[in-house]
Amino acid sequence: MGARKSRDYQPVNLSPPTAIEAMSSDGERTLELEGLPRYQTSSPSDTDNGFFCATGKIRKENVDYLNVGDGPEVEIAGFERATLKTALTWVAIVCTAGLLRLVFHWLPQYYLKCTHRRCSLAAADTVLLRDQYFQWFVHLVKTLRATDDQSNKDGLSMSPIGASPYLLIPDSGGRFREVTHIRYFVSKKLKYIWDEDTKSFNCLRSLDTDTPCSYFYGCQGLQEEEQTIRRQVYGVNAIRVRVWPILEILFREVLTPFYIFQVFSCTLWFIDEYVYYAAAIVIMSVASLSFYCYSFRTMQMELRNKIVTHDIVSVWRGGELVETIEAELLVPGDIVIVPHHGCLMQCDAVLLSGNCIVDESMLTGESVPVTKTPLPNPKVDKKQGPLYCIKEHARHTLFCGTKVIQTRYYGNEKVKAMVVRTGFSTSKGELVRSILFPKPMSFKFNRHTYYFILCLSGCAFIGLIYTFIVMSRDNTPVGDMVVRALDLITIAVPPALPMALTIGIVYARQRLKEKDIYCLNQNSVNICGVINAVCFDKTGTLTEDGLDMWGVVPVIDSRWKPIIHNTTEMDQGHIQVCMATCHSLTIIDEELCGDPLDLKMFQSTGWDLEEPAIADSVKFDQMMPTVVRPKKPRFGTSTEDVGQGESMQPEIGIVRQFTFSSSLQRMSVITRALGASNFDLYVKGSPEMIVSLSKPETVPANFAEVLQTYTMQGYRVIAIAHKPLPDLKWVKAMRITREQVEQDLDFFGLLVMENRLKPETTPVIKILNDVNIRTIMVTGDNMLTALSVARECQMVGMYDQVILINATPTGVAYVNSEHVDVEPAAHPKEEGNFLAAGDSSDVRRKDKRYHFAMTGSSFANLRNCHRHLLPKIVQRGTIFARMNPEQKAFLVEHIQELGYNVAMCGDGANDCGALKTAHAGISLSEAEASVASPFTSLQQNIKCVPTVIREGRAALVTSFGMFKYMACYSLCQFTSVMILYNIGCNLTDFEFLWIDLCLLTVLGIFFGRTAAHSVLVKATPPDSLLGATPLLSVLGQMVIMVLVQIVVYFYIQTKSWFTPFVRNHEKEYASYENHAVFIISQFQYIILAFVFSKGAPYRKTILSNYYFVAAMGILTAACIYITLYPMQWIINLLELHPPDSLTFNLQFIAIALVNLAACLICEMFLVEFLFFRILKNKYKVLRRTKHVYETIEKELRNDRSWPPVETSHEHKRKATEEALRSPSSDTAVILGEATKPTHATADLLHRNDNAKPFLRNLSTNSQSLLISPPSGGASVGTSPVNDSAYAETQYQSSL
C-alpha cells in the first residue's frame, strides 16, 4: 500500500473512548484514551504549521501516509527546492560561523523546511517522513529512466546492466507494466515508487501480492534480457549491511552536542593558557572516541559477516535451458533449480515441483526439519482462482536464510521454485531491517540528563551576566571579560560529564566480561538497572533442546500395566513396533534426521532404520519401503503380536505414512512385517483424539484421571493405538485415505516424555518472581508444552489459574485451562488459592492470581480487531505460544507501551527482532542473535539475566551518584569563582588543576569500581534525575557547600592579621580570600564523593572498593598537608597565601568535619529516611506518577466481572455453533476439537446437516463419547505437582 490522503477515510470517533489531553510525569504532551495506554505525541512546536501531528492512531486531514493498511503508517510530505530560501539560509549559516549548519545537522527536518517549500508529492524532489516512533527522515526523490545506464548506481546493482528500451514495474495479477521512467526513493532499505494512477508512493511490490496461484504454473522462466530489465527496478538480490568508514563514525560522534561543547571548552582553555587540564580532557576524549569507533565498526562488521552470503544458483530459462548465475542477479519471476544436496536459500521462492526438507530454525527457532510441498495448482485462468499469500502458503514457500537440507522428486524431474521476493523484501531482509532500524529507546535518565544540563546552563547564564556587571565596574578589558565569562560557562557545565557518566558502565562491562557476558551496546547497561519484565524464549533458553523419553504406560485388556522406564527392555509387541515405525524420520547424509520427538522415541527402542539403497534425493516414491529392525535379537520374546510367527528378529517395512496434522492431532503409518500376510496400522497422537478413535472396550475406565496425573506435572503425553488391516492389498494401501483406516483402533497405552528444564531455570525464575520482576514466556512451540514448562519452572504459580485466550476477528473467548486435581484429599483446599472444579469464577474473584495464555494467531487477532482489550490481556499475559519473530517483537513493544522496562532472553535468529526491540536483549547464542542483542552470554542458560540486572542497577546507581557529584562539583566551583569575582580575584590555574585533575579525575575514575550487590531486592533504583529525591539531595548538598564557603570567606576577614586583596591586571590572585575559599572547597569535593558513593542495596559497601578508599585517604591526607604545613614550592605553585597561625589552619579541618557531618545528616536522614521513606509514603503528592501497567493492574484487581471465563465445554459448544453456521475449511478443525470426550456439542453435531460428513468419519466409540463423556472432564485449571513420584503413586492407585 502506498501514500494516501487521510480524507479518504472516515474520521475517528473519539467517544467512546474519550480523548483527554494530559501531561505525563516527564512533562511531555500526550493523548490519552480512557481505558488505553498513553501514546506520546509531538510537542506543540512540531505541529505549529498544521503538518505532522498524528500519533499513528488518529489521522489528520490533508496529510499523506505511506503503508496504509499494510504495516506501520508513516507520514509523508513533499518538498521542492526554493532558491531564495536556500540562499538566505546559507547567508545565516555563514553569519553564525557555521553554528546554524551544526544545528541543522542535529535537526535535518528544519534544514529541509528552511531550504525547500511544501509541494505535492507529484512535484517533490525531496520527501520528509515521520514514522510511528516520531523519528524524522529526509530522502531524495530520484528518477530512473529506461535509457539510463544503471551499472553500480546507488548500490542497487552489482553487475553492468546497461540501457534498455523500457522499464518493467509490477502490476496486479503477476503482470508487469512497461514504463519509460519511474520516480522513487529508498527508506529503511525499501524502495517506494510513484504511482500515477493513485497519485501516491507505493512500496515496490513483488509476486507475493495480488498474484493468483495459477500464475506460477503458467510461467516458463525469465530470459536473460527480461531478467536484466526487471533488475533495473528491483536492484540486486543482496542484503547488504554498510560498514561506515572510520572517519565517518568519528565525525558523526564528534558532531554530537557533548563533544562540540568539549571542543569549545578545550579551545577556550588553551586560549586562556589552562593547558594541562585541557590536554588531559583531550587525551581522555580521544581515548573515548577511539574505543567508540572501534566498538561500533566491529559490531557493523560482525553483522555484515553474519548476514551477507554469496552463492551460485541455477535458473531455468524454459525448455531444457538451465543457466548458472550469481544469486545476487535473481529477480522476482526467476525460476530456480533447487539442488538435490540442498542449499542456503538466497530469496523467498514458492515451490512448484518436488519436495524439500528445510531447516527453518532461523525463522522459527525450532530445529525440526520441515517438509515443503509444491503449491497447489488450481488449473484455472490466471485472472481467477485463489491468491497466493506468503503466510497462508508458508508450507509451500522456501524462505530466504533457511537451509534446504535435501530435495526429493520423482524420477528425473527437477525441483523448481519461483522467486517471489528478493533483497530486503525477503523474510531474512525483514529480520535484518528490524536489526538495523529498531524502535528507538527513550531512557528517562538519559533524557533528564539534558534537562539538568539546561538547568546548569541557566546558572551559567546568570553567572555570565554577573561577570559582565562586576568586571565592567572594574573597567576590565573587553577581551578578558569575554574570556572570563565564557570560562564561567565551562565551570558551570563540566565538559567531562559525558565521560564521567560512562565510568560505572565501563566497570560494569568489565565485570560482565569476567562472567562470560559480553556487552555490545553500553547504552543498554544503565537501562538494565530498571528492568521489571523479562521475556524468555523456551526451547534452548528455559529448557534443553528437544524432549526425553520418561516412560511407557502400557494397556492390556483395558487395564493399566506398570510403567516401563527402560523402553529397550520391553517386549517386541505393538507398543515397541509403533514407537519404531510411527514417525517421519529419514536418513540424510548417513545421519538420522527428523522431529526431535520422533527421534527420541525411536532411539529409545534400540532399533535400526534402513532406507532403500538409492540416492537420498529420489526417496520421493514410497514403493520401496523403509525398514526397521531391532539392533540385537532377543530370544525368548514373544513376537506373535507383530505377525512374525517363528521369526525372533522382526523386520518391519513402513509402507505408507499419513503425516502429522495439527488439526487432526495425529499421524499414522501402514506397515507390513517381513513374511506377514497382512498390513498393520499404527497411530500416535494426542490422547483425547486417539481415544475418540479407539474401541471403547480397549480404553481403561479411569483413562482421564491417569492422563491428567501426568499432564498436571508438565509431561508431554502421547497415546498409541493399533489396527490390523487383514483385507488390505498393496495397491489399495497406496490409495486408501486416512479417514478410512483411522477408526475402530485398539488402544495400547501412553508414551510419557519430558521437556527437561535447564537446572538453572527454576532458581532464576524464582529469584525474579521474588523481586517482583515479571516473567513472560514467548515461544514458537505449541501451547501444551509451553503451559507445562511455565508451571514446572514456577513462572505460573502452583495454585495460579491459567485462562486461555481464543481471539477471532469476531470475538474473544476466555477459556479455563483443563487441569483439575484428581485427588482433592492430597491437596487440601485453601481459600483463594485452590481451584476446585466448577469454582473457577469464585476463586478468580477472591484471588486475582490468574494468567492469560494465547497463541500467535490469537495475538494477531487481538492486535488487528480487538486492540482495546490488548492492554488488559498483555498485562496478565504470561504464556505466548506459536509466536513468529514479528509477533515476538510486537509483543515486546506492547509490554513497553504499558510502562514496563523489558528485557528479552533468547537463543535463536527468530528472536532477533524481539532482542533488538527490547530495552535489553540478552542472547544465549553467538549466531545472528548475538549481533541483534546488546548482551551475549557464553553461558547457555538464563543465569546471566539476574547478573545483568544486578550490574545494571549498580551502573545506574553509579551514574546517578556520578552525575550528582559532577553537578555539585561544578556548582561548588562555580560558587567559589563567583565569590572571588566579587573582589576581582579568581582561583589560580594550578588550584584549578589540583581540583580538576587530582581531586575530581582521580575520585571519578575510582568512583564506579564498587561492585554490584550479590542480592537482588524488590525496589528498583530511581531512573529520573528530575525526581523529588535527587533534586532535594543536590539542593541540600549545595546549600551546605555554599553556606560553608561564604562563612569561611567572611570568617577569615574578621582576623586581625587579615589584609584584603588588591585588584590587579597581572593575574596575581594570592590572597587570604583566595586561600580560604580554595582550602575549604578542596575538602568539599572529597566529601561530595564520599556522600554520593552509595552502597547497599544495589552496590557493595564502599569499603569493598579498595582503590576508591585508598584514593580518598591519600587525597584527604594531601589536602590536610596543604592546609597545615605546605612546603614553599607548593605555596609558590598553587599561589597560596596561608596564615601563619596553626590554630586557625586547624579550624579549617574542624569546619571540614562539620561540613562532612552536615552532608551525611542531610543525605542519610533528611533525604533518604525522612523524605524518601516517611513523607513520600504519607503524602501522595510526593510519590511518582503511576505507570500505565499499575493503573491497569489495579483495575483488574477491582473488576470482579472480567474476564468472563467460560468452561471448555461452553467454548466448544459456541465454536461448534459458529462453525456450523458458516462451514469452511476450519470446520473440520473445530469439529475435531468438539469430538474429544465431551457431550458439550453432541446435540449440535447430530442435529445439524453440516456436521454429518464429519460424523461419518468418526468411530462408533467417538460418537458414543459425545453422548456420554468420561468422568473427570472438568475444565478448571489446578496446580501441578512437581514430583514425578507423585505420578507413579497416583497411577498405582488407579490400577
- Interhelix angle 1208-1221/1227-1234, rounded to 10 degrees, is 150
Q: Identity (one letter) of the amino acid at 1260?
A: T
User: Which region holds residue 882: left if phi is over 0, alpha if psi is between -120 and 50, else beta?
Assistant: left
- The torsion angles phi and psi of 955, rounded to 5 degrees, stand at -65, -40
The answer to whether the beta carbons of residues 1020 and 532 sit under 8 Å apart is yes
The answer to whether the beta carbons of residues 1151 and 1157 sit under 8 Å apart is no
Which position among 131, 208, 537, 800 bears the catalytic label?
537
d(Cα 590, Cα 569) in Å, to the nearest integer?
27
Written as nine digits, the cell of 927 is 549466531
**Rounded to 5 degrees, what angle do the CA atoms 378, 382, 385 make?**
45
The answer to whether the beta carbons of residues 67 and 1 sit under 8 Å apart is yes
Q: Which long-range contacts (CB under 8 A, 24 or more apart) does 1165-1170 make?
A: 1166/1032, 1166/1036, 1167/1029, 1167/1032, 1167/1033, 1167/1036, 1168/1029
The beta-strand segments (E) located in 429-547 are 517-519, 533-536
Q: Which residues face 160 on adjacent strands? A: none
d(Cα 586, Cα 1142) in Å, to the nearest integer?
94
Burial 817-836 (b: 16+ CB within 10 A, else e): bbbbbbeeeebeeeeebbbe
Q: Which residues face 517 on adjacent strands? A: 937
User: Nearest Cα to 343, choosing from 370, 311, 375, 318?
Assistant: 311
d(Cα 72, Cα 886) in Å, to the nearest integer?
13
User: Nearest Cα to 345, choosing from 309, 318, 388?
Assistant: 309
Written as nine digits, the cell of 381 is 485462468
Q: How many CB atoms lie within 10 A of CB 1260?
A: 11
Four-point Cα dihedral 1039, 1041, 1045, 1050, nearest 10: 40
Residue with cell 506520546: 40
**Three-state DSSP class for residue 930:** helix
- The torsion angles phi and psi of 666, rounded to 5 degrees, stand at -165, 165
- The torsion angles phi and psi of 969, rounded to 5 degrees, stand at -60, -50
d(Cα 862, Cα 856) in Å, to the nearest integer?
10
**Three-state DSSP class for residue 609:** strand
The helix, strand and coil proportions of the chain, stated in percent and rounded to the nearest 5, come to: 45, 20, 35
Q: Identity (one letter) of the amino acid at 1079?
A: I
- The torsion angles phi and psi of 6, rounded to 5 degrees, stand at -70, -20
Q: How many CA atoms lie within 13 A of 387 on its CB side?
A: 10
Residues contacting residue 1295 through CB under 8 Å, at least 6 positions apart? 559, 560
Burial 485-506 (b: 16+ CB within 10 A, else e): bbbbbbbbbbbbbbbbbbbbbb
- The torsion angles phi and psi of 420, rounded to 5 degrees, stand at -115, -30
Q: What stretches of 2-42 show up as alpha helix (H) in DSSP?
A: none
- The torsion angles phi and psi of 849, rounded to 5 degrees, stand at -85, 80
DSSP class of residue 1163? I
Q: Identity (one letter) of the amino acid at 1273?
A: G
- Interhelix angle 944-981/444-473, rounded to 10 degrees, is 10
User: Nearest Cα to 936, choosing from 910, 893, 902, 907?
Assistant: 907
**Is position 537 annotated as part of the catalytic site?**
yes
Active site residues: 537
